[in-house]
Amino acid sequence: MRIDIITVLPEMLEGFVNESILARAQKKGLAEIHLHNLRDYTTDKWRRVDDYPYGGFAGMVMQCEPIDRAISALKAERNYDEVIFTSPDGEQFNQHVANDLSMLENIIILCGHYKGIDQRVRDHLITREISIGDYVLTGGELAAAVMADAIVRVVPGVIGDEQSALSDCFQDDMLSAPIYTRPADYKGWKVPDILLSGNEAKIKEWEMDQAMERTRRLRPDLLK
């Protein structure tokens, strides 16, 4: 899959895109992430992307034209399944949304500036608005990074079978069971006996019980 991220701060995302899981996925040829500087789509010599709001409100507003030009340039090259705008008043991002988006061929993520974007962009160019949580960030770049990471890591083959994405917490709307590694006894802190028993059926049952208990205790909302 391919993700095109349009931002006024590409430097903020460069390191992230070229490191981490995203770098691995790109090396394996399973995903492509491309960063586009919105200022490259301006027509004035100051490379301005915003202007004063109509109505005398405070703050600056990102203009339609550079965004329209950026999105149109991308659309001229290929079809896009979604044009996503990062916004705290969008639908809530979660594992299901990440799974769904990971099955698409091409998506655009426009990093927004809340309150500061011309409504006509949202009305005419954006197909989906997504929030990563009920708090307001200064810009959409971190939200785009969070989304790209979660989407790409569930693309088949990106992470090895040994840590299959299907066993992630949230995949079944449940938290994961606790996990342990050697030594079996560290300073008297013991690994549960069941995990050392070699009884696969019993271990599976224990894992399910633990996952259910943790979910009930920590995230009862997931069980509703």
* Shortest Å, Cβ 113 to ligand ADE: 8
* Shortest Å, Cβ 67 to ligand ADE: 15
Q: What angle do CA 134, 135, 138 make, to 5 degrees?
A: 140
Instruction: Provide the β-strand partners of residue 61.
Output: 51
Q: Based on the number of CB atoms within 10 Å of its own CB, is 122 exposed (0-12), middle (13-18) or buried (19 or more)?
A: middle
- Whether the CB-CB separation of 86 and 110 falls below 8 Å is answered with yes
Query: Position 168: which residue type?
Result: D
* Shortest Å, Cβ 63 to ligand ADE: 18
134 annotated as belonging to a binding site for a ligand: yes
* Shortest Å, Cβ 135 to ligand ADE: 5
Among 28, 31, 37, 38, smallest CA distance to 149 is for: 31
66 versus 112: smaller Cβ distance to ligand ADE: 112
Query: Position 99: which residue type?
Result: N
Output b/e per residue, 56-89; b: 16+ Cβ within 10 A.
eeeeebbbebbbbebbeebeeeeebeebbbbbbe
136 annotated as belonging to a binding site for a ligand: yes
195 annotated as belonging to a binding site for a ligand: no
22 versus 109: smaller Cβ distance to ligand ADE: 109
17 versus 147: smaller Cβ distance to ligand ADE: 147
Binding site for ligand ADE (CB under 6 A): 86-88, 112, 114, 131-133, 135-137, 140, 143
* Shortest Å, Cβ 126 to ligand ADE: 12
Token look-up 């005398």 returns 56
83 annotated as belonging to a binding site for a ligand: no
102 versus 131: smaller Cβ distance to ligand ADE: 131
154 annotated as belonging to a binding site for a ligand: no
151 versus 177: smaller Cβ distance to ligand ADE: 151
Query: Peptide bond preceding 178: is omega within 30 degrees of 0, i.e. cis?
Result: no
101 annotated as belonging to a binding site for a ligand: no
Residue set of the binding site = 112, 132-137
Annotated binding-site residue numbers for S-adenosyl-L-methionine: 112, 132-137
